[in-house]
Amino acid sequence: MKIEATPLKDCFIIHDTVHGDARGYFIETFNQRDFKAASGLDMVFVQDNQSRSSKGVLRGLHMQRGAAAQAKLVRVLEGAVLDVVVDLRKGSPSFGQHFTIELTAENHKQFFVPAGFAHGFVVLSESATFFYKVDKFYEPGDEVGIMYNDKDLNIDWKLPTSELIFSEKDKTLGSFADYAASL
């Protein structure tokens, strides 16, 4: 496991070691001891989640706030996604900044998203299976979100808006400015 820092404080790209031969491959996708040694973070994950989506499905930008704020370790099992995070931690040196990374089944990269970040992804391949671990249980009353096309964030989702598919909930998320004003 090799951990690479990103420009956003406490966000990490994880490059797993792939052990392959004619039979296929093996990857140790998480090791708490190694992760703590490389990142300084002592994570205990309590729930695993998985979704499958078609090309153009955009899920996000979501987060849990307060005591329910979740850290996530995300990866793609099939297909390709553009994964996006926005730092919403008041007082953070990277507050309001976003970071994007392409996660694919082939590149085997994982992305660690700390608590206090909004998170989303869009499917770039015909379909994708997205898998993630969280360190807190989901609390519906503590969920907030930012619109994917927020003018202050100016995120390039790599697909034309006409190709994006959203849930009804994601069409009504708030703005970054409104979220920042509520802090």
Mind listing the pLDDT tens digit for each residue in 97-121? Answer: 999 999 999 999 999 999 999 999 9
Residue 29 lies in a domain: no
Residue 5 lies in a domain: no
CATH number, domain with residue 56:
2.60.120.10
pLDDT at 176: 97
* Paired sense of beta strands 98-104 and 80-87, if any: antiparallel
Residue 173 lies in a domain: yes
Q: Half-sphere exposure of 20 toward its Cβ, with a 13 Å CA cutoff?
A: 8
Average pLDDT on 160-173 reads 95
Counting the structural domains of the chain, the total is 1
- The parent domain of residue 83 ranges over 46-181
Q: Which residues are catalytic?
A: 62, 132
Give residue 183's pLDDT band: very low, low, confident or very high (50, 70, 90): confident
Residue 122 lies in a domain: yes
Residue 4 lies in a domain: no
Residue 41 lies in a domain: no
Residue 21 lies in a domain: no
Which pLDDT tens digit goes with each residue over 112-145? 999 999 999 999 999 999 999 999 999 999 999 9
Q: Any idea which of 18-22, 44-48, 98-102 has the lowest mean pLDDT?
A: 18-22
Reported in sequence order, the residue ranges of 79-142 that DSSP labels E, i.e. its strands, are 80-87, 98-104, 109-113, 117-123, 127-134
Closest CA to 124 of 146, 154, 93, 156: 156
Give residue 1's pLDDT band: very low, low, confident or very high (50, 70, 90): confident
**% pLDDT > 70, the chain:** 100
For residue 13, CA distances in Å to 2, 4, 99, 155 come to 8, 5, 11, 19
Residue 154 lies in a domain: yes
